[in-house]
Amino acid sequence: MPRSFPIIWIAAFLVVIGVELFIIDNLDPYVVAIIIYAGINIILASSLNLINGFAGQFSMGHAGFMAVGAYSGAVVTMAFRDNYPAIFNEPALQPFVFIAAIFAGGLCSAAAGVIVGLPTLRLRGDYLAVVTLGFGEIIRVILLNLESVGGARGLTNIPGITSFFWVYGFVLICLFVITRLVDSPLGRSFLSVREDEIAAEAVGVNTTRSKVTAFALGAFFAGMAGALFAHYLRVLSPAIFDIQKSFEIIIMVVLGGMGSISGSVVAAVFLTIIREALRPLQQITGTDYRMVIYSLVLIVLMLTRPRGLFGTKEITDYLPERWKARFGVRRVSPKES
Closest CA to 226 of 81, 60, 41: 41
* Rounded-to-integer distance, Cα 337 and Cα 332, Å: 14
Contact between 299 and other proteins (CB under 8 A)?
yes
Give least dist CB 97 to other proteins, A.
Answer: 33
Q: Which is nearer to other proteins, 230 or 254 (CB)?
A: 254
Contact between 241 and other proteins (CB under 8 A)?
no
Q: Which is nearer to other proteins, 151 or 328 (CB)?
A: 151
Q: With contacts defined by CB under 8 A, how many residues of the chain interact with other proteins?
A: 42
Contact between 167 and other proteins (CB under 8 A)?
no
Helix 261-277 × helix 164-183 angle, to 10°: 150
Contact between 291 and other proteins (CB under 8 A)?
yes
Contact between 239 and other proteins (CB under 8 A)?
no
Q: Is the Cβ–Cβ distance between 57 and 135 less than 8 Å?
A: no
Please tell me whether residue 29 adopts helix, strand or coil conformation. Answer: helix
Single residue of 114, 125, 318, 327 touching other proteins by CB under 8 A: 125
Contact between 15 and other proteins (CB under 8 A)?
no
* Rounded-to-integer distance, Cα 212 and Cα 207, Å: 9
Strands, E assignment, 56-114? none
Give least dist CB 216 to other proteins, A.
Answer: 18
Contact between 230 and other proteins (CB under 8 A)?
no
Q: Which is nearer to other proteins, 103 or 247 (CB)?
A: 247
314 to 2, 108, 256, 330: CA distances (angstroms): 18, 30, 10, 12
Helix 29-49 × helix 207-233 angle, to 10°: 170
Give least dist CB 312 to other proteins, A.
Answer: 13
- The stretch near other proteins (CB under 8 A) out of 25-33, 43-51, 226-234, 250-258 is 250-258
Give least dist CB 246 to other proteins, A.
Answer: 10
Contact between 282 and other proteins (CB under 8 A)?
no
Give least dist CB 265 to other proteins, A.
Answer: 20
Contact between 127 and other proteins (CB under 8 A)?
yes
DSSP for 133-156, written as a single string? HHHHHHHHHHHHH-GGGTGGG-B-
Closest CA to 310 of 273, 276, 272, 261: 261
The length of the chain in residues reads 337
Please tell me whether residue 239 adopts helix, strand or coil conformation. Answer: helix
Give least dist CB 28 to other proteins, A.
Answer: 30
Q: Which is nearer to other proteins, 167 or 219 (CB)?
A: 219
Give least dist CB 249 to other proteins, A.
Answer: 12
Q: Is the Cβ–Cβ distance between 64 and 72 less than 8 Å?
A: no
Which DSSP symbol is given to 44? H
* Amino acid in position 266: V
Stretch 45-104 residues interacting with other proteins (CB under 8 A): 56, 58, 60
Residues that bind other proteins (CB under 8 A): 56, 58, 60, 119, 122-127, 129-131, 133-135, 137-138, 141-142, 144-145, 198, 243, 247, 250, 254, 258, 287-289, 291-292, 294-299, 302-303, 306
